A and B are shown apart, each in its own frame.
Chain A
């Protein structure tokens, strides 16, 4: 395995293998012997992140790796050249694996080419956020005991969402049936996936096993006539929770805008898996890092 750039094209067997490996790391702590003692993992985040960066770094520590952590200027006026310089510098310093977050769609692929090292995509542009998708798959597998046949509505700012694109790249392979839900301007203009789409959330609530809420990304250009209008049409709240079928759950990749895409009641309810998602961040990233660091035969 050479890092993780995309879930697109990965077989069901390899995806399930990663989930199995992640499950084996659930509950692992620093006190357990690391599998990759002495390896150096660099986390390079050109966009802000809290939980993703922290969980990658915790995962690396748990595996016994050294971590080099870089946060170049968060300005989107920083040119791609600084990405190349950063990657070459880190490679020359003896980095064994790079974890990258960047706003440019080809940043992870270019980094892999420049460095010749395994690269893990920690959120690239609007393109994909594969470890978030694996976290959500693992969380659902723990809850439902299966993924095959689960119905998930992904609700909100699909057009700007790398999380949604990661789900579209990986979850159908695992048997999850996706429906994209949101106001028309938030849905893809052209649909390369052939996925079901809906603009009325209430029509979907009774049919779905998972309501997956997305953050509205104003920083990527999302425009709404009013927040209140959006919350009325698409916000997850007490009333909408009551319309879900028994056993259905609510998820969100964070960070949450409470009161907009989800209210306090829904976020903190028993149906919410939001904290389970956060908890699975470390084992999933341990799985991805350890697979990436394995020396190929």
Chain B
């Protein structure tokens, strides 16, 4: 039994200061509670308590590149960031694209223990963008989110066939890495002021916009559920808003780094700031923050993409793409996007992403009987990220003072992470 006292608790009717008692894998009571002897009591005055965070977009590199991350280190990084559930992308080696790979990945994910790990499946065989993957087999194995993350489906005809097929599978979601190859070219950073001045090959926002527009049109026709991954441009936000107004079933995510940083951070060509989609203009960043506040962007997703220090210690244009994000996301989102709005924080970080991925034991208001998947977060604690539970260190926030710190993560009734309690 765990008792959490004094926290501001996200309940079904709103935020309320209450004592929460956890027993077994669920919440026993929320309200005034007499102190019971012999149980763990966490004094959490001023901290936020809400449903455990849910990440729709992480790369745990397992199998294939476990020197960067593996299921255990990834899960520990997630727990340290307040996450109780993570959806991993299928671009492992081999990729998750059929019965054998999906069954194996789901079985290994279940064994992890300190978070609920679920895997996404590929949209096309071998992620090659040519033939549909075996959706029925992966669906039977429990896969609900399908994506070729890293690449968009290249041809509209194939995308239309995929979307039409997946409308028959209840709860299936098509998640798109919206980036047109021919427009992205060999770009290394946003095609904006910094790329122009440094003469570095740019990757225009247009590469995202045309795929988002195409996908929304195909989703409108097929009625498929489409989820736009790591939205990075103001135009995409507008496209998603207007499509939703027309009844298209679309959801969208944004990363912490796109909420906090823009292209101006790239003047020194730091490889730890290289990721795709790239950091965009300051106007784009502001539109993303507004879009998240407004709810046009439903969820924050980290796109946690580990690479070792040695892999990143190369010239910018040769550095691998991606940054880690699980351990800093909560603080970054509070500091740069949502501020003191606790209800919005848990909605975008937990409730909305859990709904998109169909994770019933996550994203629930803290009420008697709710699953005890919880995050305790101190919104005023200041700290500077330096070391990570992840195997990798490629964070854009190393050495940057952040406000807001995860104090404890509770997964199925057990403390999976705690910091200075």
Interface residues of A (CB under 8 A from B): 79-81, 83, 104-107, 109-110, 125-128, 160, 162, 165, 168, 188-193
Contact = CB atoms under 8 A, between A and B. Distances in A.
Number of chain B interface residues as a range: 10 to 19
Contacts of A109: 269
B22 to A, nearest CB: 51
B128 interface: no
Nearest to B190: A190
B314 interface: yes
Contact of B316 (A79, A81, A104, A162): A104
A189 B316 contact: no
A105 B195 CA distance: 10
A162 to B, nearest CB: 6
A195 to B, nearest CB: 11
A51 B139 CA distance: 64
Contact of A193 (B197, B198, B316): B197
Nearest to B191: A189
Given A83-B315, A190-B193, A191-B196, 17 more contacts: A79-B318, A80-B315, A104-B315, A105-B198, A105-B316, A105-B317, A125-B199, A127-B200, A162-B199, A189-B191, A189-B196, A189-B202, A190-B196, A190-B202, A192-B193, A192-B196, A193-B197
Contacts of A80: 314-315, 318
B288 to A, nearest CB: 19
Nearest to A81: B314
A217 to B, nearest CB: 11
B315 A107 contact: yes
Contacts, number: 57
Interface in B103-128: none
Contact of A110 (B191, B196, B202, B315): B315
Interface string B299-315: 00000000000000011
Nearest to A162: B199
Interface in B95-149: none
A191 B198 CA distance: 12
B194 interface: yes
B192 interface: yes
B320 interface: no
Nearest to A168: B197
A126 B315 contact: no
B51 interface: no
B321 to A, nearest CB: 15
A189 B201 CA distance: 11
Contacts of B192: 190
B74 interface: no
Contact of B269 (A106, A126, A160, A165): A106
Interface in B196-211: 196-200, 202, 204
22 contacts: A80-B314, A83-B315, A105-B199, A105-B200, A106-B316, A107-B315, A110-B315, A125-B198, A125-B199, A125-B200, A127-B199, A128-B199, A162-B199, A168-B197, A189-B191, A189-B196, A190-B191, A190-B192, A190-B196, A190-B202, A192-B196, A192-B197
Contacts of A110: 315
B269 A105 contact: yes
Contacts of A165: 197, 199
**List of 7 A-B pairs having minimum Cβ-Cβ separation, nearest first:** A126-B199, A192-B193, A80-B315, A127-B199, A106-B269, A104-B315, A192-B197
Nearest to B200: A105
Contacts of A81: 314
Contacts of B318: 79-80, 104
